[in-house]
Structures are given as C-alpha cells and as structure tokens.
Chains A and B, each alone.
Chain A
C-alpha cells in the first residue's frame, strides 16, 4: 500500500518549537513563583525583626514616659475634672436662699426651711394671713424659673400663729 502525504506544508519543524516555547515560559513562571515565595519569606522575616525593633523601642520610651513627669499632669487633669464637676453640680446655698427670698410675698414668712441636695428639693413651712395669700404664694413660686416644680402641701389655720394660715410647699430645683 503506497503512503500518501496530504499535508500542504511542512509542519514537523513548527510543533516542537511551539511546545518548547510553552515549556520555557512554564519553567520561567515556576522559577518566578519560587523567587516570589523566597522574596515573601525574606520580607516577612525583615518585617518581623522590624516589628520587634519598634516594640523594643516603644517599651523603652514607655518606661521612660511612666517614670517621667506624667504623674503631675494626670493628677492636674483629674483634679480639674473633679473641680469642674463640683462647680457644675453644686448649688450655692446663698443662691438657693436668695431665690426663695425673691419669690416670697411680703405677707408671708417662714417657720422652717429644709434643703435636700439628693432630691434637689426645698421644703418650706410658711405662715400667711389668708388662704388667698397661700394661692398667691404658690403662683409666685411657679413664676420663678429657678424652680421646675412647686408642690403645695397642707394649709390650715394655726392657733399658735394667731389664727394665721400655716402651709407647706415643696420646691423642686431645676
């Protein structure tokens, strides 16, 4: 049986070259991957040693800082904060009395005054000449913006105070 060559050109030379190029590229890529791996390992080691170095420097600086003059500064800050809190929260008793004085009617006087910081409340017992005065006194306290609440208590005629009206009021401070 005779051999018949159907190929129109010579392909036997090209195929080995293409395969060879691909192989070379593959090998180069493989080498590059190894190089990359090695570079990453080295970089990681360098980074680790740098981290240790920075940590060591930090510890030295930290200990120097703690041993330095920080105590005085922190104490000043803490004391300033405490003072600010006291100033913000503290009600001057002179001011509290002054506010009651401003709102008291001329026909009314006190028999007792009680201030309680925890409740932010003033409890007063008063003597007035009539029940109408009691009502006016309650209104007068309500018109004072220093107080957020005015709670009237019992009002009654007092034999001890020449049959005047004895009444109590609780005042809530804002």
Chain B
C-alpha cells in the first residue's frame, strides 16, 4: 500500500525528468533540435526558391541581352580588350580631321594587371567566410590605359578636337590638360595663334566578369527586366553640344585671343 502511494509522485518525477532531459532537448537544443531543423528546412527551401527565381530571371535577361541591338554601344564605350591600336588610330584621325598636329603620343599599360580568377569548384550561395560573414561581391575592376598626347594648333581646332574626342565611341577621361602659347613652352616663337596641348587621357578597359559564388547575389538577377538606361545615357552624352556660347558682357569664343 505504501509503495502504491509513492508510485504516483514517482511517475510525476519521471515525467518531469524525461521532459527536461529528453523531450525538450529533442525539440530545441540550439543546433539540431526539431525547432532548429524546421527553421533550417524553411531557410533551405527559401534559398532554393530564390535560386530558381534567379535562374528564371537569368533566362529572361539573357534573351533580352541577346536581342539588344544597341549592346555594342556599351561594349564599345567600355571595351573588353585594350585595343591600343584603335586608340592611336582614333587620335591620329581626330587630330587630322580637326587640323591639329599630333607630334607626340604614348599609350601606357595599366599599372597592375588584375587577374580574373575562375573558381574551379563553385560554392553554394551565399558566399560566406569561415566565420559566416558574407563575402563582398567581386567583379572585374576597370583598368585605365593612360595615353599621353601632345598636339599643336589653333584654339578653334583644339575645341573641335576635344568635342570630337568627347563623341568617340570609347570612353575617355581627361586626367590632365594643358594648353599654352607655343612661345611660353620653350618653343621657338611662331605664329601667335598656335597653341600647344599636352594631355593625359584615360581610355578604359574592363575584362569580362564571370558568374561565381561571390557575385551570384547581384541585384540584376533579382528582376526579369533588363535595365538599359545606361545605353541611352551614353548616347545622349555623345550627342551633347558643349559649345553654345552667348556672348553678352562676358564671354569670348577664343580664350587665347587678345
């Protein structure tokens, strides 16, 4: 009888003990419990859904890029290859067309070649380091072909040259530009209209970027629609007319003319 009286509290103690040491840890133990595994399962499902969505978007984007007739505008503006010969040829032609004498030119190679490393074994996204920190998106970096040029000619022809260079298909950014009277540059005294130009122009080049674990999260894959605004921006920049001068109390069309 006494044992029977103790049985019920004993069972309650056993129930509590099992709940604490077995049931709850199976439900949630911080890493492999049902609760954590359910969260992991949902996360994995979400990742898979996102990937499938990106894959679908990629198919749509790829067909849009393939059918984009003005794609060359972008690829000419920021080319894949250096094409130094085209730079030299363009400068000669523009100088000649503008009536300037190109008497010195040098295309410098980029200071540091950036290798685009292809990953032999792709890693699942998101790209995380050993501490679980998301890695930054890696893309090919733009390189500059610094081109030094020296020309001689009148101010009007210099303006023609600069305008034409600005309309060149390939992007070019002036790092420095110096215009001076020929006599002030240590040259023999010549025609007072003749000016000397010394400039450093950066022509850009951008190697192809490969899809890898670090850039798979790029925002372009989040939408099925291709953003092509940059192409119209390039075209509008090329069509800009920079010399629209209204001479009032101030202003003159030839800065070097007394």
Contact = CB atoms under 8 A, between A and B. Distances in A.
A and B associate in one complex: yes
Interface of A: 19, 22-23, 26-27, 29-30, 33-34, 36-37, 40-41, 43-44, 47-48, 50-51, 54-55, 57-59, 61-66, 68-84, 86-87, 89-95, 97-98, 100-106, 109-118, 127, 140
B174 A27 contact: no
27 contacts: A23-B4, A30-B14, A37-B23, A37-B26, A40-B26, A40-B34, A44-B37, A58-B47, A61-B48, A65-B55, A65-B216, A68-B55, A69-B58, A70-B221, A78-B206, A83-B74, A83-B230, A86-B78, A87-B234, A92-B237, A93-B162, A93-B165, A95-B240, A104-B252, A114-B176, A114-B178, A118-B175
Contacts of B142: 82
B179 interface: yes
B187 interface: no
Closest 3 CB pairs of A and B: A70-B211, A94-B242, A26-B11
Contacts, number: 255
Contact of B58 (A73, A79, A84): A73
B220 A73 contact: yes
Contacts of B242: 92, 94-95, 97-98
B208 interface: yes
B154 interface: no
A40 to B, nearest CB: 4
A72 B37 contact: no
Given A30-B11, A82-B78, A82-B142, 5 more contacts: A36-B23, A73-B61, A86-B77, A92-B237, A93-B165
B206 A77 contact: no
Contacts of B208: 71, 75
B233 interface: yes
B257 to A, nearest CB: 6
B26 A41 contact: yes
Contacts of A105: 250
Nearest to A32: B15
Given A76-B65, A77-B218, A80-B227, A33 B19 contact: yes
A15 to B, nearest CB: 10
Nearest to B243: A98
B114 interface: no
B102 interface: no
Given A30-B11, A55-B44, A97-B162, A74 B210 contact: yes
Given A82-B204, A97-B162, A111-B181, A30 B209 contact: no
A101 B7 contact: no
Contacts of B147: none
B204 A74 contact: no
B7 A73 contact: no
Task: Tell me which of B23, B124, B210, B227 has the highest count of chain A C-beta atoms within 10 A of its own C-beta.
Answer: B23
B75 A33 contact: no
Given A44-B32, A104-B250, A115 B174 contact: yes
Contact of B51 (A23, A58, A95): A58
A135 to B, nearest CB: 14
Given A23-B4, A77-B220, A86-B171, A115 B177 contact: yes
A172 to B, nearest CB: 16
